[in-house]
Amino acid sequence: MFMISRNCPMPVENTEMKFLVEIDHPKTGQPLTEEARRAFVEGVIFPTLARAEQLVKEGRILAGGPVAGRIALRFIADVESPQQIDQLVTSIPLWSIADTRVTPLIEFSDRRAHIQALMERVTDR
Strand, coil or helix: what is 83?
Answer: helix
Predicted TM-score of the model (pTM): 0.81
Segment (H or E) for 34: helix 34-40
Computed on alpha carbons and rounded to an integer, the radius of gyration of the chain in Å comes to 20
pLDDT recorded at residue 77: 98
The CATH homologous superfamily of the domain defined by 15-25+32-124? Dimeric alpha+beta barrel (3.30.70.1060)
Name residues whose C-beta falls within 8 Å of residue 51's C-beta, 6 or more positions apart in sequence.
91, 92, 93
pLDDT recorded at residue 17: 94
**Residue 21 burial (C-beta neighbours within 10 Å; 0-12, 13-18, 19+):** buried
CB-based contact 18:78 (threshold 8 Å): yes
pLDDT recorded at residue 95: 97
Alpha-carbon gap, residue 34 to 55, rounded angstroms: 30
How is 35-60 classified by DSSP, letter by letter?
Answer: HHHHHHIIIIIHHHHHHHHHHHHTTS
Task: Indicate the domain borders of the chain.
Answer: 15-25+32-124
Alpha-carbon gap, residue 47 to 14, rounded angstroms: 32
Q: What is the mean pLDDT of each run of 10 residues along the chain (125 residues)?
A: 40 74 91 93 98 98 97 97 97 97 95 92 82
